[in-house]
Amino acid sequence: MKRVIVIGCPGAGKSTFSRALANVTGLPLFHLDMIYHKPDRTTVSSEEFDSRLSEITSREFWIIDGNYQRTLEYRISRCDTVFLFDLPTDICLAGAKERVGKVRPDMPWVENELDVEFAQFIKEFAETKLPMIYELLEKHKDKNITVFRSREQADEYLTNIKEIKV
């Protein structure tokens, strides 16, 4: 495990898992939201985002947290390990609501509310985004792919990897 992507529905626990995985493995962690979003709530251009992503993926070791479907196949092609969070929609919505008002290391600002459009994106994720993700994973079966269907499975994975490292 040298090059890792962590993907799945917003609110599923990707960033929390990514931070814990980085702590256990020592791999450098990059949050796509921190690359794409500026503190003033604007975004970088696609060219700037792609350039930064290319810079990261050219390194020998990394964990990249985030979906950004436009660049997903590129990241899958560059990684050796994929963690997909495929959790129930209600769990993801609750996760997104829980982080409102909290400072997060994976976002350059504090969200004051759960945006209506963002909530709708979460509600539609399983229907609109997951099929494409699974299609890409099927296309890249040579990768080490782990699908978590609960946060408990992700926690168990981290516990097991910690025991292996000791």
At residue 162, the pLDDT reads 80
Residue ranges of the domains in the chain?
3-165
pLDDT of residue 105: 87
Q: Quickly list H helices, 26-115.
A: 32-36, 46-57, 72-78, 89-98
pLDDT over threshold 80, residue 123: yes
pLDDT beyond 70 at 117: yes
Output the pTM of the full model: 0.95
3-state SS class at 48: helix
Give mean pLDDT, residues 90-115. Answer: 92
The 10s digit of each residue's pLDDT in 37-74 is 999 989 999 999 999 999 999 999 999 999 999 999 99
Q: Which residues lie below 8 Å from residue 143, measured CB to CB, with a gap of 6+?
A: 76, 79, 80, 81, 82, 137
- Token couple for 24: 């256990």
* Fold classified for 3-165: Rossmann fold (3.40.50)
